[in-house]
Amino acid sequence: MSLRDRTNTTWDVVIVGSGPAGSATAITLAKYGQRVLLVEKQRSPSFKLGESLPPTSIGLVKHFLGDPDGPEQQLPGLFSTAGNVSLWASEQADIADFFFTPTGHGLCIDRLAFDEALRANAVAAGATLLKGVSLQSCARIADGSFNWQLTLISDAEMRQDRARYLVDCSGRQALVARTLGVPTLDHDDRLFAYAQWFSCAGGDDDRYTRIEAAPDGWWYSNRLPGSDGGETRRLVVFHSDKDLPAARLAASRQGFDQLLDGSTHIAPLLKARGYQPCGTIRGAAANGQRLRDFCGDGWIAVGDAAQAYDPLSSQGIDKALRTASHAGHMIHYALTESPRSSAELGSGNTYIHQYDEQQRQHWQAYLSQRDHYYGIQPRWSDQPFWRRRRQSARI
């Protein structure tokens, strides 16, 4: 990489990571006229777990992407869901029907299409998007003109950019925070998700998100938006602690099928509609974790980079969009009213302090909700997965 490969561009805000949190933060700031650079490590992501959104989250989707029910909208990656069916506290199915909510439905999201739509809206709002670019380093500038000197690298070049403010939206890896030496706290949570996609040639009119407790963890399943070659797709995910024997089983096709056969209503649903597994089993961390510090002088973490939740909370995308909107507003107010010194843009800043306090409140609320839901599942209390959660619960 030669010096002529380098550029020196100045930005108000550089956002590392262009998932829902990064794109929503960029949309919020760009609409205020801030000069925003959105940096995405992957050129074309190929794997994202689908996710369900409750009716209360639809307003957020409308805010950032438009009305999914509007006749002028053809939003990709969205599928209306009718409610939740869970076998949790007992062997009897508990049905939560969204028909009786103000919107009348929830949403299931194809993450690849959804994330790309958010990125496109960020660019349309005025943000600059760089794909296939990674943050190599960040250093504070002593001259006081701009707070950060950033080195960004790709396959083709190295570039150096300056920014008044730096936002970590890099997900669970928390790349910016890690670069700055801020540790991640996970409280010894080892939850891991093992995902298998299924397809069938026939139709599937089931529009319920399905959750089912099992001796060594719990299951999630949802029909996915769109189709592949005329086939209907469904996602099935098994959650267990990564060090348990069931988790090692779930990592292989044979073991996954063995565990799935023991489910009460997900396996029968798949068989009744002729579903067959397709593709390979994918794994992803699903543990709850948070940064020790959510922000500092001239930087802030948003979305999963700040705090990531056990998916039982069903708050992943909702949290990402909601906290991104709040962070974007607070950063804009701080940049508008404060000098360019990074010390004036730290956690002591009135607006940044508000964000920091809200993040701490969100974490405590998440812990209470997580402990409650795990605590009301009384079966298999002698099994390691459930015993661990009962021991750590604060109920």
Per-residue pLDDT tens digits for 27-46:
999 999 999 999 999 987 77
Q: What are phi and psi of 250, to 5 degrees?
A: -65, -20
Calculate the average pLDDT of the chain. Answer: 89
Query: pLDDT of 286-332, one tens digit each?
Result: 999 999 999 999 999 999 999 999 998 877 889 999 999 999 999 99
Given a contact cutoff of 8 angstroms between Cβ atoms, the answer to whether 165 and 299 are in contact is: yes
Q: What are phi and psi of 221, to 5 degrees?
A: -150, 145
Q: For 182-188, what is the mean pLDDT?
A: 89
pLDDT score of 110 more than 90: no
pLDDT score of 70 more than 60: no
Residue tagged 């540790």 (tokens):
183
Domains assigned to the chain: 3-48+113-187+291-375 (3.50.50.60), 67-104+190-285 (3.30.9.100)
Model pTM?
0.92
Query: pLDDT of 343-356, one tens digit each?
Result: 578 778 999 999 99
Cα distance between the two ends of the chain? 56
State how far the Cα of 332 lies from the Cα of 329, in Å rounded to an integer: 5
Q: Cβ neighbours of residue 349 under 8 Å, at least 6 residues apart?
A: 334, 338
Residue 1 pLDDT level (bands cut at 50, 70, 90): very low
Residue 227 forms beta bridges with which residues? 232
Residue 395 pLDDT: 40
Query: pLDDT of 372-383, one tens digit each?
Result: 999 999 999 999
Query: pLDDT of 256-284, one tens digit each?
Result: 999 999 999 999 999 999 999 999 999 99
